[in-house]
Chains A and B, each alone.
Chain A
Amino acid sequence: MLATTSTDYRFETIALGALDGLTGEQRDILSFGVIGLGADFIAEIYNATESRLAGISPARVLGSQFFLNIGICMNNYLVAQRFEDEPELDTIIDYVLTLRMRPTPVRLRLLQSPSIARRYILTQR
């Protein structure tokens, strides 16, 4: 399905607009984790890869304040604060997440733009 389009679906390069336009099915077959946050950082998107890495099903995440419930280790100046401070954001950082309480080195891509309501965190192990 994805192969038939010309859109770029790679962790490093997928565009925010393309990411925001994906269907749930399309997001779920991506090899990296996708977390989409709405106003007040409410979790609106939590794809299958992210769910598998974190050990939590989307139903238990969606609708909750992400940085208070699941992603507390990103609730700091390195991640959450950047969404507050930088309206236009597309950056990749090395990070450590506690996936299933195991400190796990990951790469995070933070994406935000004034033209799109939802901001995204992509995670790659």
Chain B
Amino acid sequence: MSADGATELEDAYEELLRFVYATPVGLLELDASGAIGIANPVAMQLLLQFVPPEGLTNFFSVMEVLAPELRNLVDGFRPAAGIVCENHRIFAGPASRREAAESKVLGCTLVKLGPNRLMAALLDISVQIAQERRLNEAEAWFSSLIDDSNDFAVVMLDAAGRISAANDSVLQQTGLTERDTIGQQLDIFEADDLCSSRTPPAEKLAAARRNGWHLEEGWHKTGNGGRYWCQMLVTVRAGAEESPGSPIAGYTAILRRAQQHQFNSANLKQLLTTDHLTGARNRAHFFEVAERECLRAIRFGQPLSVIMLDVDHFKHVNDRHGHPAGDETLKTLAQACSRLIRNSDVFARVGGEEFAVLLPATDLQSAAETAEKLRACVAATEIRAANATLQCTISLGCAALNAEARDIPTLLAAADAALYKAKHSGRNRVVVANTRQTILEPVSIPTLELSAKGG
């Protein structure tokens, strides 16, 4: 090759490098085991949200907690080459427990190029997911307006969120007089409901300002002291057209009686808040509800507890019986536990084999009793995997809000520390935070298969 040719080639190579350095999509080349061979900076940036730099060697290991199914998808893909998954959604939740506010959703495309070569593309689709959710909710709402000729209560609010007018239907639906409502905030219509989380009025308005509307469902009061399931749409009334930058004129809220959970948005919400593998609530939902319940508990001086639980020797299940058996273990466990908790509790998968239970209006002693029920139930449950019937146990740590733990990260850290103690004092047991005492001694399981080693 001539000197000019070589320079030209070097130049082209450098241009290409510069192009890939700046590519705003994460790209990785992997071998069949998931070992990362080639990666561009965005791939590293996205993965660094979940693991420290030293953990960035194997893609499937990085994803073990958030999307263990990726490895199974690749293992189960029989063709010699082809698309394994396209824009598979990874609900990453907050990057750490301490960043509860921000939920991330990644879209992952995996292409098998040969027996030992895979390409992965990663894209942060958090914003699109949030938009999609809002659009779907709005679509469901507007189609229900067309389909249905129910009576709508209309409430006008001023720019500060105080009720300035209400139509006759409001009075029929709620039993409140105009005098009762004028000057009040939107929560005046809401029934006391310990079992679900409510967005405070200011947050509803903030969401409406951000998105143009805010849609919410919940129990509302009727005139005779009862309650009804109400869908509420809050929209923004824009300021004067000639000065678009001016503050908004106010808000309009429409209240509509509905069948509970019949609405599309409820199904959609179910999809967006559920862990696809286990059917438990997902991590993002857990943190969303936990933050809200925490504020409420502090405001009303009520107790709030959490239980962190973790499958004993889970690594051993995967190593010995394969990942499908591991998945089956998590599914069976989640189903068994979900049956034991109250509707007001939230049972969520927060990590690979790690689950959390949020227990509103529950003190530490009651939480420990619930934890023991979960422990006993799991220990007595048989797990039917394809090639074996297994039994497994869980370790649990409980903590409750108190003078030292007054926020969710601290509360979870306390429950985590208790869980750690439970693990290190023999597993298959419940430990309560801030006490050295194991409240409930484990029951021996005659044919405990999974007692060798591992997590």
Contact = CB atoms under 8 A, between A and B. Distances in A.
- The residue among B36, B39, B45, B48 with the most chain A CB atoms within 10 A of its own CB is B45
A73 interface: yes
Interface in B11-69: 13-15, 17-18, 20-22, 24, 36-45, 48-49, 53-54, 56-57
Given A72-B42, A75-B45, A76-B45, A101 B17 contact: yes
B57 A60 contact: no
A94 interface: yes
Nearest to B36: A103
B53 A94 contact: yes
> Which size class do B's interface residues fall under?
20 to 34
Contact of B48 (A54, A68, A78, A94): A78
A73 B36 contact: no
Contacts of B45: 72-76
Given A73-B48, A75-B45, A98 B40 contact: yes
A76 B48 contact: yes
A10 interface: no
A60 B54 CA distance: 30
Interface in A56-91: 56-57, 60, 68-76, 78
Interface of B: 13-15, 17-18, 20-22, 24, 36-45, 48-49, 53-54, 56-57
A50 to B, nearest CB: 13
A96 B40 contact: no
- The residue among B17, B21, B37, B39 with the most chain A CB atoms within 10 A of its own CB is B21
A91 B80 CA distance: 48
A95 interface: yes
A98 B18 CA distance: 12
Interface of A: 54-57, 60, 68-76, 78, 93-98, 100-103, 105
5 contacts: A54-B17, A72-B41, A72-B45, A78-B53, A98-B43
B53 A98 contact: no
Name the prevailing secondary structure of the A interface residues: mixed
A56 B57 contact: no
A99 to B, nearest CB: 10
Contacts of A94: 53-54
Contacts of B57: 103
Given A96-B56, A101-B20, A57 B41 contact: no
Contacts of A74: 41, 45
Contacts of A93: 53
A53 to B, nearest CB: 12
Contact of B38 (A54, A57, A95, A102): A102
Contacts of B54: 94, 96, 105
A67 B215 CA distance: 38
Contact of A101 (B22, B24, B40, B48): B40
Contacts of B40: 72, 98, 101
Contact of A72 (B14, B15, B22, B37): B22
A76 B14 contact: no
B17 A95 contact: no
A76 B42 contact: no
Across the A-B interface, give the 4 residue pairs with the lowest CB-CB distance, nearest first: A73-B41, A72-B41, A73-B44, A96-B53
Given A72-B21, A94-B53, 16 more contacts: A69-B22, A70-B21, A70-B22, A72-B40, A72-B41, A72-B45, A73-B43, A73-B44, A96-B44, A97-B41, A98-B39, A98-B43, A100-B17, A102-B37, A103-B44, A105-B53
Contacts of B18: 56, 60, 69-70
Contacts of B21: 54, 56, 69-70, 72, 98
A84 B40 CA distance: 24
Contact of B14 (A57, A78, A98, A103): A57
